[in-house]
Structure 1
């Protein structure tokens, strides 16, 4: 019995706090990613919204339309008669929602006369795009440089270049304001996509597009628009798009729909290959690549377009018999050759008599792979990389990681291997620095110069322009998440705080503050720390609730089958708490994930944005992000605090963690945190907190502060003395076998940092 609860118990009956709104329960705010409400629920909500007081005037029917239909408001009227375009009347006759007229189309009045004024001009589209916080910028329009300039005198030419440079600095980057996509039904009526693809989109329950789809789909499908649109020279052809959009906003659907539609239209034309990859999607992890393949198969069902995941042993190019990388050799073939596992004879046999198994050739039109897997598939045994002339679409998902020094060489090698002059490139991520823009532009210029030199006799097609689409604020977390930054002082304090989240003993003081409930993710800095934390929490859930089967660990050291099985169990709800590293921090979509716990502080602000983006996806509210930090993290935590503060201000909480749900970062704390230098940021991003790395405690001493263990320092010292006495006794007797036995008999006390 808790004495403090008994003494503080009041005679008055306390009000029961309202049920918490969780991402895993209840209707969703955005129906795109997680289905939609039933017709009965929608009708009930419409009845409630139509309730009015006695004597209240009936509202206009146009005001009662759903948001996805009445997106722009009422249509302008002339002379008391409603103007309606011909496209609108045809859509109404089909029984579908009328699409909004595209500016540049002629409008026909009811009396039969034609009128040229545009019902939704560029100013109206500009207002709508800005209201949804969409900004589309032309980073480089290569069409302006394609024409030949006559030779002039050097002085005049220098003066003109100086004047043009000054004008460019004043004007800045030119912006685009294409007609936004207000409904997925407009993909057929306005852009004329494949009918089967449109049916698949409708079957998946996609009705109202999110902001990134509202702005990206008109750009990627712009070649099917009318030539009379503003910026027709930019939108009439294919474009290279660099997109920055929040996590969980539907970026995968935004780049898959145009790719599948383009492959379907190109397959009907002559001269296009019917087999082999024509679109490549690069993802940093195998889990994210598998998720993209599943979405692509749903959208391409019944169209004849296949999507495949790159696996070990698959081939993309034709190889000679003697051109076999070591990945294709099996142990059984080595045994047949008489090779052993040691000595130079094994190396000589492997070099002189390479035998390869029958590899599977990729026949799917869409190939999704990680950088290293695809690079090994197109690399020859002599180190050269084969070209991929059939690739017309290249997508870099999580482009900031793929162009990071860890994956940059692999990604650029694949990019340069795509030698098709009609290649369209797309870079997508939730966080993207300004260096990515410069790197993308330089890579495009280098690749185009290489193509021009190799094809001196044949003229190249016009270069597609490079556009950038930014949704909301760059490098910002979702405002629908409640952020909590908790100081735990030491590693033991973090472990105690995590156990309090698993076993809450009291209700929150503020009933409006969401609390963390399973299922949720726990992120650590390294793999040994993830394994040690799993060992500590393995039996914290009682057997009545499932016991140790409800907590699991997932990291890169596990096999692909074990990783896939653990991830499937977590998606199915069999696992409630999943401990992992940054392996699952990007791109993965978990339905109904209630929260995220940063047991170790992320190595950068971008890493924090991606970690907490696993919850609160597709506009869902109620997600919780808890971040523990200790005295070792104080010099590095300011970046995370700035992201939390910006998210709170964007959500209207004013320091309330989004939606006014409690304070995440106070102003005094933000002012007191030290500002890290640029060098410190780079070191932290590259190596993390040094005190938590493997072997750090042996170098600096005092490793008990960074060890994940519930034992006190006194208990560990006693055990260390006993273990040292046993090992010294065995060493004195000269029994080396007993030394190992004494070490193995020591009680497990967690992995070192």
Structure 2
């Protein structure tokens, strides 16, 4: 049988994004620039190579079979990725035509209310019909109302946000808040300046919607005010002890912690705020202002006496559904212990994720017995609308490599992320598609930390076309230029699917997500079909008719995944 991949020569074409053109020319040309083909463009126009021979071909074929890789911006500066977020279109009206918070919430599908953790029925807590209406409408007249939305970052100065933070945001052309930022930032700031209000916020918004900035702005504001308070109060116990630590961000992976540290460095530039970095001595942690870490390391510092519960005055749990998931029992117990250590009711708590199922919130209510804000942008489990989602049937495991090679040959928007279940399968897929001219890399959890950091930086800068990894990178990681996500191994839950495909289509960009499934994967398909349809996508009619399996069948299918044969080499 003739191998299709060995008989085609690949031409590469690049479609430079607005950011790339601005980076090179220092201007802002109109979007929609034509695609530059390798045969037509000069070497200056093509930053990598003019022709990629992926699978060892030596002759050029007709244009019909020529794949197209569309590259995003490829700045050469290692720190350039920190300033290439796209300009955001204003989401608010002009000052002459202001929009009310209710209208803003309706326009951006924001559902915000106040809930009591110990009582599922809020109506029992509010006796009068008028009080209930004020609460559910988010009116400003009630103590139990959600603060109004703030569509512009410049307006946050009136809420106590330092002007330096607003200027740092403006350096990235971030002037208009996204929907989650417009509601979550005022909610957390309200808790900061008024202790009679709910001190916790449970926030759910789609991937790539700006949740990190939504909690880093109020967290940084809190730290600035705490530093000013300590300077003005020489007799304070914390100041006498030399303590500075007042804010904590808990995340499920070290990679996400390092990404958030970079965001903090940008956001708090010229503010004199210090973030605990991994290379610093553990004994110095209390002298830093902010700690970003995993639950295991936080508890290690707590048990060793380097930090104390009094330092947990502003705590954020990012990717909260992963941290609090009972299926990861060890991480769940660690997170629960940290949550119980927080000095309530005065501490401010933020819980953020792209997916917060109802059962997870009910579990949280058992651990947190006070009122809190609940902010939902869209649904509890909903994919981003910026991603084109596709389901592709493959005959068996051995066919996945061929399907992946055909996908690459047909053309894709680079860079590409490929998700698989295990580290061994990462290596197997890499051997199946790599050639000297195709830049493929593998990232696994057991790699040295320095090696992982280097790979991530190369992937961000476009030096790697295809990165094969596990769910290690499925949550929270912000790759603004990723154009394609391939689920070579099917996600096991709808939440996992949403987080995986959310690595593309971020910060106003577009992306494509392709999910392979075999006959053995059919039990997991209905959940993904539901996600695709909820995002406005389309699937084959027979897939819509698949029955949703029971919990027992799903459990048995997950166990069977470990018995599958490895890919042929």
TM range (shorter): 0.7 to 0.9
How many Å apart are 1:527 and its aligned residue? 1.5
Out of 329, 342, 361, the position equivalent to 1:437 is 361
Q: Return the alpha-carbon distance in structure 1 between the equivalents of residues 263 and 406 of structure 2.
A: 38
Q: Would you say how many aligned residue pairs link Structure 1 and Structure 2? A: 481
- Sort the Cα spacing of 1:38 and 1:181 in 2 relative to 1 into closer, same or farther, 3 A: farther
Offset at residue 444 of structure 1 (A) = 2.0
**Larger relative contact order (CA 8 Å, sep ≥ 6):** 2
Q: How does 1:190-209 map to 2 (within 5 A)?
A: 190-209=158-177
Q: CA deviation at 1:363?
A: 2.1
Q: How does 1:120-135 map to 2 (within 5 A)?
A: 124-135=100-111
CA distance in 1, matches of 2:428, 2:124: 64
- Corresponding residue for 1:264? 224
Alignment partner of 2:148 out of 166, 179, 189: 179
Q: CA deviation at 1:366?
A: 0.7
1:595 corresponding residue in structure 2 = 484
TM-score under structure 2 length normalisation:
0.76
Q: Which runs of structure 2 are paired with 1:236-385 in the superposition (5 Å)?
A: 237=197, 239-269=199-229, 270=233, 271=236, 273=239, 275-310=243-278, 314-315=281-282, 360-380=284-304
1:667 aligns with 2:541: yes
Match 1:627 to one of 515, 519, 532: 515
Deviation at 1:254, TM superposition (A): 0.5
Contact 2:203 2:376 in 1 (8 A): yes
Closer, same or farther: CA 421–294 of 1 in aligned 2, 3 Å: same
Specify the alignment match of 1:27 in structure 2: 18
List alignment gaps of at least 5 residues for structure 1: 5-18, 29-33, 46-65, 76-99, 101-119, 145-160, 226-232, 316-358, 446-462, 505-514, 649-656, 658-663, 698-705, 710-748
Q: Deviations over 1:204-241 (max 9, x none)?
A: 3211111101111121223689xxxxxxx89x746310
| Cα distance change on mapping 1:219 and 1:517 into 2, 3 Å | same
| Divergent runs of 4+, >6 A | 42-45, 161-168, 170-173
1:508 corresponds to which residue? none
- Contact 2:198–2:372, Cα closer than 8 Å, also in 1: no
TM-score when scaled to structure 1? 0.59
**CA offset digits 1:590-641 (Å, max 9, x no partner):** 12111100001001011000000000012212x1101110011012211011
Q: CA deviation at 1:567?
A: 1.2
CA contact (8 A) 1:247 1:614 kept: yes
Task: Structure 2: give runs of 5+ residues left out of the alignment.
Answer: 5-11, 34-87, 140-146
CA–CA separation in structure 2 for the residues paired with 1:420 and 1:493: 54
In 2, distance between residues paired with 1:241 and 1:625? 31
User: Aligned residue for 2:112?
Assistant: 136
Partner of 1:426: 350
* Cα distance in 2 between the residues matched to 1:493 and 1:42: 43
Return the offset for 1:310: 4.4
Task: Give the whole-Å Cα distance in 2 for the aligned partners of 1:498 and 1:163.
Answer: 56
Q: Which residue of 1 aligns with 2:553?
A: 680
1:639 aligns with 2:498: no
Find the aligned partners of 1:400 and 1:217 in 2 and give their Cα distance. Answer: 20
Distance 1:245 1:588 in 2: 15
Q: Are 2:491 and 2:524, in contact at CA under 8 Å, matched by a contact in 1?
A: no
Q: Distance in 2 between matches of 1:263 and 1:680?
A: 49
The alpha carbon displacement at 1:480 in A equals: 1.8
Q: Is 1:493 the counterpart of 2:484 in the alignment?
A: no
Q: CA deviation at 1:193?
A: 1.8
Distance 1:563 1:493 in 2: 29
Quick check: 1:220–1:238 contact (8 Å CA) kept in 2?
no
How far off is 1:174 after superposition? 3.1
- Aligned partner of 1:534 in structure 2 is 430
Distance 1:259 1:164 in 2: 30
Offset of 1:162 from its aligned partner?
Answer: 12
Q: Residues 467 and 591 (structure 1 numbering): CA distance in 2 closer, same or farther, change over 3 Å?
A: same
Structure of larger gyration radius: 1
Q: Distance in 1 between matches of 2:264 and 2:281?
A: 19
Q: CA deviation at 1:43?
A: 12
Counterpart-to-counterpart distance in 1, 2:199 and 2:170: 26
Q: 1:491 is paired with a residue of what secondary structure?
A: coil
Structure 1 contact 242–426 (Cα < 8 Å) conserved:
yes
1:146-185 counterparts in 2 under 5 A?
A: 174-176=136-138, 178-185=147-154
Q: Give 3-state SS (helix, strand or coil) of 1:428's partner.
A: strand
Deviation, 1:420, is 5.8
- Tell whether the 8 Å contact from 1:310 to 1:374 is kept in structure 2 after alignment: no
**Distance in structure 1 (CA, Å) of the matches to 2:385 and 2:403:** 24
**Is residue 607 of structure 1 aligned with residue 480 of structure 2?**
no
Q: 1:485 to 1:497 in 2, by over 3 A?
A: same
Query: Structure 1: how far apart are the matches of 2:433 and 2:284?
Result: 43
Q: State the alpha-carbon separation in 2 of the partners of residues 385 and 44 from structure 1.
A: 54
> CA–CA distance in 2 between the matches of 1:681 and 1:468?
30
User: Equivalent residue of 2:394, what SS?
Assistant: strand
Q: Secondary structure, in 3 states, of the residue corresponding to 2:391? A: strand
Checking the alignment, whether the CA contact within 8 Å between 1:277 and 1:366 is kept in structure 2 is yes
1:68 aligns to what?
Answer: 90
Provide the C-alpha distance between the structure 2 equivalents of 1:426 and 1:255, rounded to a whole number of angstroms.
7
State how far apart, in whole Å, the 2-side matches of 1:528 and 1:43 are: 42
Tell me if the contact between 1:260 and 1:300 (Cα under 8 Å) persists in the aligned partners.
yes
Contact 1:633 / 1:689 at 8 angstroms: preserved in 2? no
